[in-house]
Amino acid sequence: MEFTVLVAKLAEGMWVSVEIFLLTLLFSLPLGLLVALGRMSRNLILKNVIKFYISIMRGTPLILQLMVVYFGPYFIFGLPTPNRFLATIVGFVLNYAAYFAEIYRGGIESIDVGQYEAAQVLGYSRSQTFIRIIMPQVIKRILPAVTNEVITLIKDTALAFTISVSEMFTVAKAIASAQSSVLPFVAAGIFYYVFNFIVATIMEWIEKKLDYFR
């Protein structure tokens, strides 16, 4: 197979990887915040349910979670298996929301209680205090940890091959098997590295923009 053809086929798979990456971030970041707030709730039932959910998501492999999301409806409820791509997104979002939730929680709990008291004295409501005072500081503090998770997500998109979603690693594996060559894996590795480099550069730029104390 010519190198240009190889790159074209990998680029098609790369686009699927990018879609998984973007959709996972789009839904897991806000969901993670909601989960974090539930984890910090004074309602013991809600708090323990959320705590159990986070424990399951962090304590079991993502590859297993993807299989449960895809095959679970059929084997548990007798329902048709869902769309593979949709199942992939659901699995990734549920998994990463749990990790982001703990990052959010750590950032929120790191804010000094005096800031809440000062905001109350100034007449801010609880929602105004959280949105205008707390969250901007939380975002700045958690950005390095979020960056690590985002970079991990790029590499984790390869796990979509578990339920036969044709992302880049699946395409590279198929070509390598057909051609008995390691070149597709090398090319895929270069694609992943470039993708990681671009995302890391963007996150570093955002981090510098938020580093307003220097």
Domain extents in the chain: 3-210
pLDDT at 2: 62
Place of tokens 């923009």: 209
Q: Which residues of the chain have pLDDT under 50?
A: 213-214
pLDDT tens for 169-188 read 888 888 878 777 788 888 88
Distance, in Å, from the CA atom of 85 to the CA atom of 166, rounded to the nearest integer, reads 9
Report the candidate in 187, 196, 104, 185 with the shortest Cα–Cα distance to residue 152. 196
The domain 3-210 is classified under which CATH number: 3.30.1330.10, 1.10.10.60, 3.60.15.10, 1.10.3720.10? 1.10.3720.10
Cα separation of 123 and 177, whole Å? 66
Query: What is residue 122's predicted lDDT score, i.e. its pLDDT?
Result: 79
Helix, strand, coil distribution of the chain in percent, nearest 5: 85, 0, 15
Q: What is the pLDDT of residue 130?
A: 82
CA-CA distance, 102 to 51, in Å (whole number)?
10
Collapsing DSSP to helix, strand or coil, 182 comes out as coil
Gap between the Cα atoms of 139 and 132, Å rounded: 12
Let me know: does 191 contact 18? Beta carbons within 8 Å. Answer: no
Nearest CA among 62, 53, 86, 81 for reference residue 156:
62
Cα→Cα distances 75→62, 107, 155, 187, Å = 19, 39, 29, 38
Q: What is the pLDDT of residue 182?
A: 83
**What does the pLDDT look like over 137-156, one tens digit per residue?**
888 889 989 999 999 999 99
